[in-house]
Amino acid sequence: MRLRNKPWAKDFMAEHPDMLIVNPEDKKGLWAKEFGNDAPIHIEVGTGKGQFVIGMALANPSVNYIGIEHFDNVIVSALEKAIESEKPANLRLLRFNGENLESVFAEEEIERVYLNFSDPWPKSRHEKRRLTHARFLKKYEGILKPGGEIHFKTDNRSLFEYSLISLTNYGMKLLSVSLDLHANMPEDNVLTEYEEKFSSKGQPIYRLEAQYQAK
């Protein structure tokens, strides 16, 4: 992700507290109140410029979505898109590091985690930073309802193979695995920015759905 310096980002974020939650820790355990309903809450960690999470919110009004991105300069692009889409009522954005999910969400507050084109961190000394490392799987488990799911898409075969092993070793059940999602594109597939970029170059898109099992 190319980062452009956007000196106006902080002020712009502060102008839209109804969409970009400034102090998300204050909402821990209170997200249903924030959305004003008890609909399931799905989060995307590493939401980037927001195309996926906004598209999902528009396509599925009976689900609440939270897009989480840790760079100001990137999340403001998602905020701009959300404003262009007239701020869907079932969407919130957080400028936040997914390392600290447990400080923002209570146990069992979330039903699904989306990971899309997560940074691959190819060097083995950076393995712990991969969003499908057991360290992160434990964090997601801590906030998901029993039977919660992870849905993951990537163009990176090595990261995909690593993730299949990591999720399986963690005891998760693989519900579906695709080695070429676009060969049989599901009707309800919402493209991410990276998915558009890589698939237009002819690269296969890998996808999996996995579910936590009772221990």
| Residue ranges that bind ligand SAM, judged by CB under 6 A | 1, 45-48, 68-71, 74, 97-99, 116-119, 192-195
Q: Which is nearer to ligand SAM, 38 or 188 (CB)?
A: 188
Question: How many Å apart are CA 161 and CA 139, to the nearest integer?
Answer: 21
Q: Which is nearer to ligand SAM, 54 or 74 (CB)?
A: 74
Degrees to nearest 5, angle at CA 36 with 32 and 39: 55
Q: Tell which residue, 189, 164, 162, has the closest CA to residue 174.
A: 164
Q: Which is nearer to ligand SAM, 44 or 109 (CB)?
A: 44
Closest contact distance (angstroms) between CB of 85 and ligand SAM is 16
Closest contact distance (angstroms) between CB of 176 and ligand SAM is 19
Instruction: Classify 44 as helix, strand or coil.
Output: strand
Question: How many Å apart are CA 117 and CA 47, to the nearest integer?
Answer: 9
Catalytic residue among 18, 26, 119, 180: 119
Closest contact distance (angstroms) between CB of 41 and ligand SAM is 17
* CA 200 to chain centroid: 22
Asked about 72 being catalytic, the answer comes back as no
Report the Cα–Cα distance between both ends of the chain, in Å, rounded: 37
> DSSP letters of 160-176?
HHHHHHHHHHTTPEEEE
Closest contact distance (angstroms) between CB of 38 and ligand SAM is 26
Question: How many Å apart are CA 79 and CA 65, to the nearest integer?
Answer: 14
Q: Which is nearer to ligand SAM, 2 or 215 (CB)?
A: 2
As annotated, the active-site residues are 119
